[in-house]
Amino acid sequence: MDLTAQLRSTIRDVADFPKPGIVFKDITPVLADGRLFRGVTDRFADELKGLGVTKIVGIDARGFIFAGAVASQLGLGFIPIRKKGKLPWRTRSAAYKLEYGESVVEIHEDAVEKGETVALIDDVLATGGTAAAAVKLLAQCGAEVVRAAFLMELGFLGGRSQLGATPVVSLVIY
């Protein structure tokens, strides 16, 4: 069975979480399977080879799991993009819309250098608001995002369109 099929059969649907009518895609069974988790990080690492990536950026919080592992595997630095108020140093911030309001993500202002080539990794691409805010922050810092990689994409929500020209890789698309 190929990686995509294995992921599809392992990601668990949880009905009515976090609220009625939502079907949550639970990735914890993927994380618990060492072989499958390694398969995901290997695939992400393969996608980034030859792109000149100097740092891997992960989005709070599940994106940290994959981004940190890929950064380590490639011998690159890891940069966290966190929810507002979670970073201890001077930050840049970007607001984005949610289905039910607005949120803000932040990055340390010195996390990347002007002209750096980075890759963004997260667990899910849904409406694209968080990922688009992350790309915006990285551009404000002078970095070029050469790839955005996701474990899964909820294609019916159209999030990919929010990322403009940033190339997107999703291992599983629903």
Measured CA distances, 164 to 59, 147, 172 (Å): 18, 12, 20
Which strands, in side-by-side order, build the sheet including 168-173? Answer: 91-98, 101-108, 77-83, 55-59, 117-125, 144-153, 168-173
Of 35, 90, 99, 102, the active-site residue reads: 99
Strands 144-153 and 117-125 turn out to be parallel
| Enclosing H/E stretch for 160 | none
Q: Could you say which of 8, 62, 109, 144 is catalytic?
A: 62
Q: Is 62 assigned a catalytic role?
A: yes
Give yes or no: 99 in active site: yes
Handedness of CA 54, 34, 172, 100 (dihedral sign): negative
Partners of 148 in beta bridges: 120, 168
Q: 107, 125, 104, 110: which is closest to 57 by C-alpha?
A: 107
User: Which residues are part of the catalytic machinery?
Assistant: 62, 99
